[in-house]
């Protein structure tokens, strides 16, 4: 079978030595994957392309996917013929809805290694995207939650569309907004990150860009053209990649006049979520008594009290930590959740039985003691995450 030589490859190949040309050809062939594989890794033009390929499962991440993506990302980072890395999700509705939580829950119940390995590999990959030396472009077209946020938000560029739905809904399943949430959430404007983390509020479309989570906003129907233009760049720098993204962003008039969904509430969010404890936030919301405050109170009342207190402290501490130290902290927290009750109960109530009536233990914020919290943040010694 002959190699299909693209116009970009034709432009690039004459400048290379014959042996180098052969290497590129073989590398290109070796990455042609089974189209039914759960992750597709391919080199096209100047770009290494990662496609999460489980659309029926909302592109939820498995341990196997993490273990395939990480070494390939590292290879492309070192490869002189790869100039940018692009990540996207298969299907029209989803980038990545998170980790395969049901599998992790099942493994955790039986003390299986997956409860350690999954989080370790996931955070290692998240860190690799945050420290990647090549321009890293995430096309977050569709649902982007939990683990999908971790694969996009730490990279150089995040391109949202009108189909993007962003959320960190972990407190509803007895977990916390991990994948580096402790780093990026407290760095959002005002107390927006605390609000999103504690309530699981969903941002859609252009609001994801306005909030500072996406770097660019482009119509969904233009994404294929954008991807093609990026791939066909010749030896691009980060600035060249930014120029292409900027031009598409500037041309996009969709929802340009739309007010930010939380715009009218930002003053309230900044004051009500400025507190020294989770209990104080609840008191602030009760005292305020506005329809907006009471809605948030109702939402927070459904969340795991342990998760709320872990999350509040995670963001407080994460605000002054670097990304690597945040992942070390979050790995400790993930293992504390695997030892506890609420994660398994949350998964049962929300994802398995779907009765949405979890029985949290402890059941109220006041019963989540400082001693319990301290034990969650405590070093795991030789089991700590090493990056």
Tens digits of per-residue pLDDT, 71-100?
999 999 999 999 999 999 999 899 999 999
Separation CA 230–CA 151 (nearest Å): 19
Separation CA 3–CA 344 (nearest Å): 50
Choose, from 45, 108, 147, 155, the residue flagged as catalytic: 147
Question: Do 89 and 96 meet the contact criterion of CB atoms below 8 Å apart?
Answer: yes
The per-residue pLDDT for range 129-150, each reduced to its tens digit, is 999 999 999 999 999 999 999 9
Q: Which residue has the tokens 């599998």?
A: 103
Say whether 147 is catalytic.
Answer: yes
Say whether 170 is catalytic.
Answer: yes
pLDDT confidence tier of residue 7, bands split at 50, 70 and 90: very low
Locate 340 and state its tokens.
């506890």
Separation CA 362–CA 359 (nearest Å): 9
Contacts of 277 (CB under 8 A, 6+ apart): 312
Looking at the domain that runs over 35-383, which CATH code has it been given?
Answer: 3.90.226.10
Choose, from 38, 178, 342, 345, the residue flagged as catalytic: 178
Domain assignments of the chain as residue spans, ordered by start: 35-383
Choose, from 45, 48, 98, 99, the residue flagged as catalytic: 99
Choose, from 38, 122, 141, 170, the residue flagged as catalytic: 170
Q: What is the pLDDT of residue 70?
A: 98
In this predicted structure, the answer to whether residue 340 has a pLDDT above a threshold of 90 is yes
Contacts of 284 (CB under 8 A, 6+ apart): 271, 272, 273, 275, 293
Please state the rounded mean pLDDT for residues 212-220: 98
CA-nearest of 189, 176, 80, 184 to 130 is 184
Say whether 45 is catalytic.
Answer: no
Q: Helix (H, G, I), strand (E, B), or coil: what is residue 95?
A: strand
Residue 203 sits at the vertex; the CA angle it makes with 118 and 136, to the nearest 5 degrees, is 55
Separation CA 147–CA 97 (nearest Å): 7
Whether the bond between 129 and the residue before it is cis, its omega within 30 degrees of 0, is no
Using the 8-state DSSP alphabet, how is residue 99 labeled? B
The per-residue pLDDT for range 310-320, each reduced to its tens digit, is 999 999 999 99
């Amino acid at each position: 079978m002959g190699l299909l030589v693209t116009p970009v490859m034709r432009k690039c190949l004459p400048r290379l030595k014959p042996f180098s040309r052969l290497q590129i050809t073989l590398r290109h062939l070796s990455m042609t994957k089974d189209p039914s594989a759960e992750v597709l890794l391919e080199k096209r033009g100047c770009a290494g392309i990662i496609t999460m390929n489980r659309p029926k499962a909302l592109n939820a991440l498995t341990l196997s996917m993490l273990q395939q993506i990480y070494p390939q990302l590292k290879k492309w980072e070192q490869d002189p013929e790869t100039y940018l890395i692009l990540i996207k999700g298969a299907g029209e509705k989803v980038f990545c809805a998170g980790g395969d939580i049901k599998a992790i829950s099942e493994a955790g119940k039986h003390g299986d290694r997956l409860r350690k390995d999954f989080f370790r590999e996931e955070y290692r990959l998240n860190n690799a995207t945050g420290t990647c030396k090549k321009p890293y472009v995430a096309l977050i077209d569709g649902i982007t939650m939990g683990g999908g946020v971790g694969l996009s938000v730490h990279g150089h560029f995040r391109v949202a569309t009108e189909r993007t739905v962003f959320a960190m809904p972990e407190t509803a399943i007895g977990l916390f907004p991990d994948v580096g949430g402790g780093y990026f959430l407290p760095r959002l404007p005002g107390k927006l990150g605390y609000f999103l983390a504690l309530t699981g509020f969903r941002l859609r479309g252009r609001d994801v860009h306005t909030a500072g989570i996406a770097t660019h906003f482009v119509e969904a129907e233009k994404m294929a053209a954008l991807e093609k233009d990026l791939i066909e760049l010749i030896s691009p720098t980060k600035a060249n990649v930014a120029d292409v993204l900027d031009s598409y962003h500037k041309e996009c008039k969709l929802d340009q006049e739309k007010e930010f969904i939380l715009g009218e509430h930002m003053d309230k969010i900044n004051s009500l979520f400025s507190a020294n404890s989770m209990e104080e936030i609840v008191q602030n919301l009760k005292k305020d008594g506005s329809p907006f405050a009471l809605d948030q109170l109702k939402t927070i009342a459904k969340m795991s009290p342990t998760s709320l207190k872990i999350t509040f402290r995670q963001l407080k501490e994460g605000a002054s930590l670097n990304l690597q130290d945040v992942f070390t902290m979050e790995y400790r927290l993930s293992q504390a959740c695997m030892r506890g009750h609420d994660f398994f109960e949350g998964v049962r109530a929300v994802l398995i039985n779907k009765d949405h009536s979890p029985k949290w233990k402890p059941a109220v914020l006041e019963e989540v003691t400082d001693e319990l919290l301290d034990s969650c943040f405590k070093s795991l010694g030789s089991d700590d995450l090493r990056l």
